[in-house]
Amino acid sequence: MTILIMYHLSGYKTFKWYDTKHVMVHQRKDFPDLVSYNRFVEIMQFALVPLVLYTIKARFGKCSGISFVDSTPLKVCDNHRIHNHRVFSEYAKTGKSSMGWFYGFKLHLIINDKGEILSFCLTSGNVDDRNEAVMDSLTKEIFGKLFADRGYISQKLFEKLLEKDITLVTRAKKNMKNKLMDLHDKLMFRKRAVIESVNDFLKNICDIEHSRHRSVTNFLVNLISALAAYSFLPKKPSIFSESNMQESFLCLLD
């Protein structure tokens, strides 16, 4: 588990290079029972359940009453190779995001105002962000206000979350009647991009997305270890940086 999590913080783009060029060369004394790369790939699937428990119980943050929700696509192959792809043929689906069509999965995340992950859910790429089962799973430990983009606009979802003491805050669409938004909610909504920064960190720093998986289990191990690795980053995207506080204060004065 330690090697898997450290890999996502190492900067290496392939686990083979990290294991053979770094761990086996520089960290043999730290791992006296170290096995070969091929053997490690075979047995890493047994780390999945402990990784999930460790990540959820020890590495996730706590809800503060201000949360942000969003989803990001996880491609499993290039769009030109969709019809030839076999590893995830039973699970991955074609979906559409703001960046266009993709083949793979969706990672749904909820974070707090400190940029800490509160909960996550993995679905196939064609699942709607407003799916009730997904939102029920994501919001089990959430309370207060939940900020989301226009893709989460749903009167039924709003009412269901309100029953759980969660207020869903979204921006109205152009064809909807304009409703006044509380000033605090307006200021917090301007910081909603913080969760997009978290998705960017996961993909570009923790390497949560790549197309080299050869089994479903190892894909899940890579996903969970990347989420755990993100929690160890010393600086996470946060809405309470000094510059953000000054901007919010100036908006209040205006």
pLDDT digits (tens, 9 = 90+) for 41-56: 999 999 999 999 999 9
User: Which amino acid does the sequence have at 54?
Assistant: Y
47-51, 115-119, 207-211, 238-242: least confidently modelled range: 238-242
Average pLDDT over residues 196-203: 95
Residue 179 scores a pLDDT above 70: no
User: What is the percentage of the chain residues whose pLDDT exceeds 90?
Assistant: 72
pTM summary value: 0.88
Quick check: 118 and 142 in contact, CB under 8 A? Answer: yes
Quick check: 51 and 225 in contact, CB under 8 A? Answer: yes
The pLDDT, as a whole number, for residue 216 is 93
Left if phi > 0, otherwise alpha if psi is -120 to 50, otherwise beta: which for 65?
left
Tell me whether strands 100-112 and 93-97 are parallel, antiparallel or unpaired: antiparallel
Residue 244 scores a pLDDT above 70: no
The pLDDT, as a whole number, for residue 74 is 94
Domain parsing of the chain, residue ranges: 2-253
C-alpha distance across the termini of the chain, in Å = 51
Quick check: 87 and 215 in contact, CB under 8 A? Answer: yes
- The single residue listed with the structure tokens 């205006």 is 254
Token pair recorded at residue 194: 């913080």
Sign of the Cα torsion 160, 162, 167, 170 reads: positive
The pLDDT, as a whole number, for residue 94 is 93
Residue 22 scores a pLDDT above 80: yes
The pLDDT, as a whole number, for residue 81 is 87
The pLDDT, as a whole number, for residue 178 is 53
pLDDT band with cut points at 50, 70 and 90 for residue 191: confident
Average pLDDT over residues 184-199: 87
**pLDDT tens, position by position, 89-116:** 899 999 998 888 999 999 999 999 999 9
* CA dist., res. 252 & res. 137, Å (int): 36
pLDDT band with cut points at 50, 70 and 90 for residue 210: confident
Please provide the average confidence, as pLDDT, over all residues in the chain: 88
* CA dist., res. 81 & res. 94, Å (int): 12
Q: What is the DSSP letter of 35?
A: P
**Per the CATH hierarchy, to which homologous superfamily does domain 2-253 belong?**
Ribonuclease H-like superfamily/Ribonuclease H (3.30.420.10)
**pLDDT tens, position by position, 129-152:** 999 999 999 999 999 999 999 889
The pLDDT, as a whole number, for residue 9 is 95
